[in-house]
Amino acid sequence: MTLFCAIDLHSNNSVAVVLDENDSVLYQERLPNDLPTIERALQPFQNDLYGVAVESTFNWYWLVDGLQAAGHHVMLVNTHAVQQYKGLKHTNDVSDARWLAHLMRLGILPTGYIYPYEQRTLRDLLRQRLFLNRERVMHLLSAQCQIRRCTGLQVACTELKRASTQLLELHQHPNLQFALRCHLAMLQVLNGQIESIERQVTKQTQDNPYLQSLLTVDGIGPILGQTIALETGDIDRFPTVGQFASYCRCVNSQRLSNGKAKGRNNTRNGNKYLSWAFVEAAHSIIRHNKVAHRFYQRKRAQKNGALATKALAHKLARACYYVMRDGVAFDETRLFA
């Protein structure tokens, strides 16, 4: 007999439900978020389990990795795509877990991609660099604003990024010097941490075949190339270039009926880091590639600058898909034919 298990995951507890082929409940329990406890609860059913569905919440890493290591076939549920019946009067964690197991039994459970553990740790490390870089920009702008407000002088961010203590001489009052010294100290720490992350990621992506191909694309340097390669993962999980572009948030979200707009779908579906990377690449290629610059100017004249940038990012996403899939170098004549 084939069994189906679903776990409704929360921050401090989980509700596990096991159904049989007739939708009868064989096990139903609220468990603490403790991996050995959950493994012991599923142990009597493991040989007959078709799979274990886990909600893709913010804290799914530990549970999915642990269950996979224990030999379970784990499915990561795409929570945005799961639809409950309309008009239900009462739902709770148990009914949600039963519904996921029921969808699994019917073979229509919407699932997401489980990024392999080793590569995921490297991807998340690079995401940490982006977070620290945003913190650095915040301190740069705050220090720049303080100097201009108090002295009227415009100090470039490149000079502030060096965090030289000579900048303290711009202020005469000790309180202002102390405030600026705090910003410079944070910049020194952030600079060191960002550089160490870059070295660690570069060391582990030297042999990445996707990265070597991506570096041939105009507008994509080492950081953007590493971001695109690591956030994409296995390119074969995208059967078509349109699906990859949609995952990169480069496709417009619309709901049309008889040629008229009837609202918008979920615009946040996809990967925000890939969206950021391709927009940054679009800004870069405009400055270095004349053909891309003409394409941008033409689109900007038709709509506006934001849509023109997004259109160029869409083209770059499609180009990078073929570059990674086929392992070929970038060819601008094919991109802007």
pLDDT digits (tens, 9 = 90+) for 125-147: 999 999 999 999 999 999 999 99
Bigger pLDDT: 308 vs 335: 308
- Using H for helix, E for strand and C for coil, what is the string for 6-69? EEEECCCEEEEEEECCCCCEEEEEEEECCHHHHHHHHHHHHHHEEEEEEECCCCCHHHHHHHHH
Q: Find where tokens 């390669």 sit.
A: 229
In this predicted model, what pLDDT tens digit does every residue of 185-207 receive, in sequence order?
999 999 999 999 999 999 999 99
Query: pLDDT digits over 96-110, tens only?
Result: 999 999 999 999 999
- The CA distance from 192 to 159, in Å, is 16
Spatial distance between the Cα atoms of 211 and 324, rounded to a whole number of angstroms = 8
CB distance 314 to 251 below 8 Å:
yes
- Contact between residue 119 and residue 126 where contact means Cβ atoms under 8 Å apart: no
Residue 247: Cβ within 10 Å count: 21
| Cα dihedral sign, 166-169-171-176 | positive
Distance in Å from the first CA to the final CA of the chain: 57
* CA separation for the pair 64, 35 (Å, rounded): 10
Closest CA to 267 of 243, 280, 251: 251
Is residue 154 within 8 Å of 170, Cβ to Cβ? Answer: no
Q: Does pLDDT of 254 surpass 90? A: no
CA distance 197 to 93: 40
Residue 170 gets which letter from DSSP?
A: G
* Predicted pLDDT at 258: 65
Q: What is the CATH number of domain 3-112?
A: 3.30.420.10
Tell me the average pLDDT of the chain. 91
pLDDT band at 252 (very low <50, low <70, confident <90, very high): confident
Q: Binning pLDDT at 50, 70 and 90, where does residue 83 land? A: confident
Each residue of 155-176: pLDDT tens digit?
A: 888 888 888 888 888 888 899 9
User: Angle 68-119-60 (CA atoms, 0-180°, nearest 5)?
Assistant: 45
Instruction: Report whether pLDDT(223) > 80.
Output: yes
Q: Please give the distance of CA 257 from its chain centroid, rounded to a whole number.
A: 31
CA-wise closest residue to 243 among 317, 172, 153: 317
- Please write the tens of the pLDDT for every residue from 55-72: 999 999 999 999 999 999
pLDDT band at 288 (very low <50, low <70, confident <90, very high): confident
pTM, to two decimals: 0.89
Give yes or no for residue 89 having a pLDDT over 70.
yes
Say whether pLDDT at 300 is over 70.
yes
